[in-house]
Structures are given as structure tokens and as C-alpha cells.
Structure 1
Amino acid sequence: MPEPGVVDGEFFFNLSAYISPRTPIVFVADLTTEASDGGLSFSMTFQPLESADRRTPTGPKVDVGPYALSEDGTFTAELPTIVVPGNANPISGSELEATITLSGTLCAPADFVCGDVTGTVARPISLNLKGSTFAMERITDPSSYPASVINCKKDPARPL
């Protein structure tokens, strides 16, 4: 388990829906940790990025958390309903409304965090997200984001 603040920073976050796994919805996520109830919790701020370049911020930021980490670093983060602008949705190009849960592991040095996504999409179509994944990699150079990967095996996203 990392110490509070040690793994904090910006991450390139890819959410890969099982219906089109190599075309992730991409965000910059700002991760912060803090001591809580004798353990550690984390919060994130998500900024959607345009699907055309996976770099340009679009729409409002979304704050989520805090979520508790277990002693082995595993977590389940039930996010509130999130609306993603159409220009950040590479699958349909339509505004997306979803309620998702992220399940993964966050351990020091936490330069790469990944796991499973469950939940539902309400718009533009009704869809169960079971079988979807996420992967987030630390941004070490804000002028050059890491390559988009879609899962814990670091399978690459479809190139732009």
C-alpha cells in the first residue's frame, strides 16, 4: 500500500467498452490519495479528451471519490452517472451517459493501474458494460501522452 500522496498525479485514462474494445474513451485523470480510517482512499478528477486526437480537453471535468483501498491495494469505485460529450465518444460520436464501476488494484509506484469496468450506458443506447476494461498510465511529460492501451495486458488501442 502506498503512503498518502506518493502515487498522486496525472494519468492517461482509457475506458474500453467491450463492444468496440480498441476504440477507448480517453480522459486525463488527476489522482489524489489521502489517509482515511487507518487506511488509504483515493479521488479522481476526469477530463474527457476529444476522440479525434486524444489530447484536446472537451466538456466539463468530473470529480469522483473518495474510494477506499483495501490492504492489498484493490478497490471498487462506484462512479456517479457521468455524461461524456459526443466528440469524446469514438464509438458513435453521440453524447454518452453512463453509470460505471471500476475494479482494480492501486499499488506503489502506481505508474500503471488497470482493471474491469461494469455498469450501464443509458444514452445513446441502453447497454450493459460487463466485460469492459480500463487502463491508466502515469503522464510523465504533459506534452507527450503515453500510447493508449485498453487493458491490463497493455493491448494497444486502434491508432488514430
Structure 2
Amino acid sequence: MALGSALAILTVVPPSLATASATDPGTTTHMSDAAGARPDALRTVTLITGDTVTVTADGTETRQVKGPEGEGIDFEINKVGEDTYVYPDSTLPYVSAGLLDKSLFNVTRLLADGYDDAHTNQLPLLVSHTDSSAARAQALPAGVTKVRTLSSIRGAALTEKRDQAAMPVS
């Protein structure tokens, strides 16, 4: 997905996700792909990167993280209170730089809001553009649809198809 310079911040639309604080304390675990658990008690969430996260039904235990092509990938898990955040390693520089909102990786909240693969095939997003009008005018990547312009944040409301989700590239 070539959003590159057009994005300043990317975040999920539901207000419940916007309450996650970047300064919340938590525990972080760095892991590689780990499979296992009862299939009947598992749910899968596709992140905006195209990576899939399989977790227990309540989203508190991560069972498997796969890349867009089904390959095992490295990732970090951060538990903050009752919420579990799963960050594929490829997202860490973007999250650290504030280009991707941490709430995009809060799998507990994504499940609670119905954004697991069984309930939706797209993810609503808000994007804020850089000051460049050229960046705002660039074409949207495949699988992304503009819902409306949001002048107040110099951005737009978008939806991204789950099966075309991909990591933004600079």
C-alpha cells in the first residue's frame, strides 16, 4: 500500500479505540509465530498490515500471528490492563514514530467492536494528511475507498478491504 508521505496518522474510527493512551504502562513480550489451542475458542483479526492474529475468544491470549501470505512472522505482545496489543515487527518503526495509532493493534478492542474476520471484511480508518496538497491528491491504494473528506483534521475517512490490507511504504 503506497500511502507513504500522504499519511501523518492512521487510526481506527470507533471512539472506544481512541481512548488507548500511548503512555499506558504494560508488559511487552517479543515473540515469533506460536501456534496451538482449541479451534472452537479462537478468533482471527486481520490487521491493516494484512497480518492475521489468532487469539482466544476474549482477545486476551495470542495463539498465532501470520504474515499476509500465511508465513510465520516476528511480533511483540503488549498487555495493558485487560487489553492485548499485537505488533508485527514490521509496524514497530511506524508505531514508535506516531505514524500508526497503537489502537490499530489492540486485538481485544478490535474483537469487542466486531472487527474480527468473522464479522467484517473491511476496516474503517481515519487518515491525516501532511501539509502537502499533492499528498492529499494522490490516488488511493487498491482496496481503499474514501468515505468522506474531514477538513477539520486535514484528512479523510476511509475503508480498507481486509483481503487487500498491506503495510504502508515510505
TM-score bracket, normalised by the shorter chain, equals 0.3 to 0.5
* Higher percent of residues as helix: 2
Larger radius of gyration: 2
> Whose RCO is larger (CA < 8 A, sep 6+)?
2
